[in-house]
Amino acid sequence: MKQNYKFPDSYFTFPSHVTLEHLRDVSKQVADIQTPAYIIDEAVLEENLRILKKVKDETGCKVLLALKAFSLRASFPLISKYLDGACASGVFEARLGREDFKKEVHTFSPAFSDKDIKDVIKYSDTVIFNSFNQLRTYGKMVKKAGKQVGLRINPMLSKSPKLLYSPCVAKSRLGVIAEQFKGEDLSLVDGFHFHALCEQDADSLEEVLKKFEADFAKYLPNLKWVNIGGGHHVTRKDYKLGLLIRLIKNLKSKYKIQVIMEPGEGVVLNAGYFATTVLDIIQNKGNVAIVDASAETHTPDVLGMPYQPCIIDAAKGVEKKNVYRIGGPSCLAGDTFGDYSFDAPIKPGQKLLFTDMALYTFVKNTTFNGIPLPNIGILDKKGKYKVVKKFGYNDFKNKL
């Protein structure tokens, strides 16, 4: 991929390994595919993995893939070549990590149940508890199985774009706060875990680490590792990689401790597209394009976060001459991706390619309204597209 291609920021905020030329090539390579389809771009994914590998190589930290953001098995062989393992949010992801990712599995849940804990321990290398009560209840079982025990702490300082994503507020469910440590027994605990970032640069990590050290440094000499969670946008344009590396090295050498990080978004950032076809164009005090893809069912974070995804060769908003509100086929009145504008009018049959659609899309999609689930395909480094998952009527019928 060629470097340093200039393009207007209102279209894209991609890192240098995703050029406009590359995106135009991708558009051509998938011009005839069946839509709707999520497409994984292995060239971008591998470049992301190289950046994460550099962090590993320079700091000696471990990097885990957060399965909740991206759990496409067909991509595991590539990802597991570069990363150390996977982090799971419960028994199913732990099992997927063990059986299909096939490297280390670290599992955290706000609370484990009697029903699940045996399997969680079986499939995990590390089990991370969310309270002293759960640690007392299940910690010894984990140790007996020869696995490691973690405790999620809450630094009560979060850097997150939205309150919905902040674990560091009063009545948060996530992590033990410093004042709860009085009189508690830490003898079973191998490491601390925190997760307080969301789509953040390394200077946010620096702030959270300061607070973490102020409250929890006294416990670190007895621990083997600190897991600094996810939310590190390591592969984003202009991410302060040097600062991240310095922070991890410093934490490691100051406390003689292993550092683990578990990005989700950061692994697959910009490494996917969502291909859709325009079905119809209607007018209601402006142009409305209906496509064969739904924000509500296929990209729920567009409405939930909310955010507006980019479309290749379109501008977000009204900057260009031909403006359309683009929406999907569900019954939800607000099922739209937003307003976009184009140099030329768009027509039924035309393909539109949304960018940055690998993360938190197909892990969250639904068949609400009976809308079919899109194909999932992989575009390899030679530009060859192959469908790896197809869904049909039975997937809708058998779910309920």
Q: Say if residues 227 and 192 touch (Cβ distance below 8 Å).
A: yes
Q: Which residues, numbered 317-336, are part of the site for ligand PLP (CB under 6 A)?
A: none
Q: Which residues, numbered 195-254, are part of the site for ligand PLP (CB under 6 A)?
A: 195, 198, 229-231
90 binds ligand PLP (CB under 6 A): no
The helix or strand, by DSSP H or E, that contains position 141, with its residue range, turns out to be: helix 132-144
Least Å distance, CB 250 to ligand PLP, is: 21
Query: What DSSP character marks residue 325?
Result: E
85 binds ligand PLP (CB under 6 A): no
Cα gap 167→211, rounded to integer Å: 15
Of 36 and 272, which has the nearer Cβ to ligand PLP?
272
Of 37 and 198, which has the nearer Cβ to ligand PLP?
198
372 binds ligand PLP (CB under 6 A): no
AA letter at 40: I
Least Å distance, CB 323 to ligand PLP, is: 32
192 binds ligand PLP (CB under 6 A): no
Cα gap 365→396, rounded to integer Å: 12
Distances (CA, A) of 16 to 77, 99, 231, 236: 25, 35, 21, 9
Number of shown-chain residues binding ligand PLP (CB under 6 A): 15
262 binds ligand PLP (CB under 6 A): yes
Single out the segment in contact with ligand PLP by CB under 6 A; choices: 18-26, 63-71, 236-244, 371-379: 63-71
The helix or strand, by DSSP H or E, that contains position 252, with its residue range, turns out to be: helix 241-255
AA letter at 274: F
Of 261 and 378, which has the nearer Cβ to ligand PLP?
261
Kindly tell me which residue out of 108, 112, 342, 385 binds ligand PLP, with binding defined by CB under 6 A: 108
Least Å distance, CB 265 to ligand PLP, is: 4
Q: Say if residues 395 and 357 touch (Cβ distance below 8 Å).
A: no
Of 266 and 372, which has the nearer Cβ to ligand PLP?
266
**Residue 233 burial (CB count, 10 A):** 20
66 binds ligand PLP (CB under 6 A): yes
268 binds ligand PLP (CB under 6 A): no
Contacts of residue 210, defined as CB under 8 A and 6 or more positions apart, other chains included, come to none
266 binds ligand PLP (CB under 6 A): yes
68 binds ligand PLP (CB under 6 A): yes
Cα gap 397→400, rounded to integer Å: 6
Residue 58 pairs with which residues in a beta bridge?
none
Of 147 and 233, which has the nearer Cβ to ligand PLP?
233
Q: Which residues, numbered 118-137, are part of the site for ligand PLP (CB under 6 A)?
A: none
**Upper half-sphere CA count for residue 353 (Cβ side, 13 Å):** 23
Least Å distance, CB 257 to ligand PLP, is: 18
Least Å distance, CB 106 to ligand PLP, is: 9
Of 63 and 371, which has the nearer Cβ to ligand PLP?
63
263 binds ligand PLP (CB under 6 A): yes
Of 231 and 327, which has the nearer Cβ to ligand PLP?
231
Residue 88 pairs with which residues in a beta bridge?
107
Cα distance between the two ends of the chain? 45
Burial category of 23 from C-beta neighbours within 10 Å (exposed 0-12, middle 13-18, buried 19 and up): buried
Which of 123, 117, 119 lies closest to 101, judged by CA?
123
Binding site for ligand PLP (CB under 6 A): 66, 68-69, 87, 108, 195, 198, 229-231, 262-266
